[in-house]
Structure 1
Amino acid sequence: MRFFLDTEQRDFARSLDGLLTSCDVPAAVRAWARGDHGPGQAVWKRLAGAGVFALAVPQRHDGSGVLPVELAVSFKELGRHAVPGPLVETVAAAALVDRLGDDEVAAARLPGIASGTTVTTLCLTSLSPYALDADAADPVFVVDGDTLSVAAAQGPVQPSADPGRRLSRPSGGTVLARGPAVTAAAAYAADVAALVTAAQALGVGRALLDRTVEYVTGRTQFGVPIGSFQAVKHRLADTLVALEFAEPLVRGAALALAVGDEGAGRDIAAAKVAAGEAAYGAARTALQLHGAVGYTDELDLSLWIRKARPLREAWGTPAACRARVLTV
């Protein structure tokens, strides 16, 4: 396996970084948390124009082909910039519809996902009763047992540790398919979701570390930067090591999924737990080293801090991922 990104993949990551840097993503996140989806949808359209969602859609349905490695590259950048919206869930829904094997459903749903005109979300009731950002998505796919349906209504938005993650319970709807094909497609979609969530968490952790290093370099106590204190150096070093350890696991899992390796599920679980724990550790480090200012909502840092723990739990808790590594 080649764990290094090639030139084209690195250029793609840089182009996404430049695109998102030019957007006011923190303002879009705050608007999204209030229920104003306009700024976030504007970012979504730019991402679609860059081909992010097409990476989850086969070429026969106007996509770029299903490319897990490129998806991981792009979602790391999405996490680095804390982009709001059901990004993971849209990609997972595309994987579900593609694997379902129903050409009529695929032809109706996948081109819109690839072009970015369709914002969708996916709820697997075996993992959670809640759908992410259902108020901004259409359709809302729900898999309950071996039944796939499109929800007709959503309950009120529930409080979340991350205000940018708007959770609600979908209900009712139209049944699209039933049977073993739905179960198998849902399992694959869950793997795709876990992989890109791991990549997103990795990006969140990198952003937290970068911002914290910048802060401790400029913040002084006793006439010297606090970054020169040994305890601070050790904390930052531990955070960096955890992120550096998680990154090849995420890339390896993406490669395993791309080639259809039988052990891809185990690799994805290992990557998910490593990246999730690393991001959560980066959030704790950032909060501690920023001191009291780290608690304030006004500081953009809070957007990343409050995202780390939900990503750690989403699409596979640490306990569930560790159990899968041991049993698959």
Structure 2
Amino acid sequence: MTLEGGLESSASLEGAAALEREVVVVGAGPAGLSAALNLVRARRSTLVLDSNRPRNAATFASHGYVSRDGISPLELRRLGREELEAYPEASFAKAVVSNVTRIDGGFAVAYGASVVTTSTIVISTGLTEKFPALPSLRQFYGTSAHSCVECDAYEYADQPIALIGETDDLAARALVLSQWSRDLIVFTNGVGVVTPEDEAMLGERGIRVERRELADVAGDRSGITGVALADGETVPRAAVFVRPVYAPNLAYVSELGLEFDADGYLVVDGGGRTSVPGVYAAGDSTAPGPQQLIVAAGAGAKVAAALNRDMLI
């Protein structure tokens, strides 16, 4: 079997020559593509593995990325991959990585029916999101329901907005969101924690806290029109910002003995080095909560520089 980029695959390490790349990058979001682009420009043979199921696939436009403000996240990924594949040192495969194990001199990365060996790995696989259990929320996600305040709040400046969440940091997120609109209601769904002191602080800014249980979000073809409470009342709103519970996608590296923080994110130094030599990480898997695309891309470039220097020693 031949993969995209001309890379031939091997079903196993036994009875067949194992594939060899200097670097395998797992994940082709901004962090992974940025790392890979800088690595191939350093003439490092690099294989990028990606499932092509990005968390922001439903989002029509991404913001804050200089020279690309308003671009579709999928288009940004397409352009990044197109740039990368112009280099002969680059290979790309659409695949889910199932496991990474240590071998002499490096690592074996299993994906699909194939295995590739490499001396170094860049982890850039991002996060999964768990939303409050509202039946219609996903229907509007990426259009009039969003999770990233810094990315999307500008488009709803001075409009009636809802913040929905079930965590204990809702007051802090509401405070940031109030920079764009003071017509804001925080919905805790009877679960999220807002202390009396924080509620008073928000009240001084005209922000109300609604603790009743929710039934769903309401809307039509134009987008969200309100938040439906379990008691039958619908509170009119033009948009919803939801506070998901995030979790990094790192089960495939569970055998490497990596160090994680208390929230399950990878512990890295300033160059993206993990606790295991030869394993680097960039992007959402290294810090709580999602990073803006341009921040993740910058992290990928920093990792590439550190990795390339380390390989010279």
Structure number having the greater strand percentage: 2
Alignment TM-score > 0.5, same fold = no
**Higher relative contact order (Cα pairs below 8 Å, separated by 6+ residues):** 2
Structure number having the greater helix percentage: 1
Larger radius of gyration: 2
TM-score normalized by structure 2?
A: 0.28
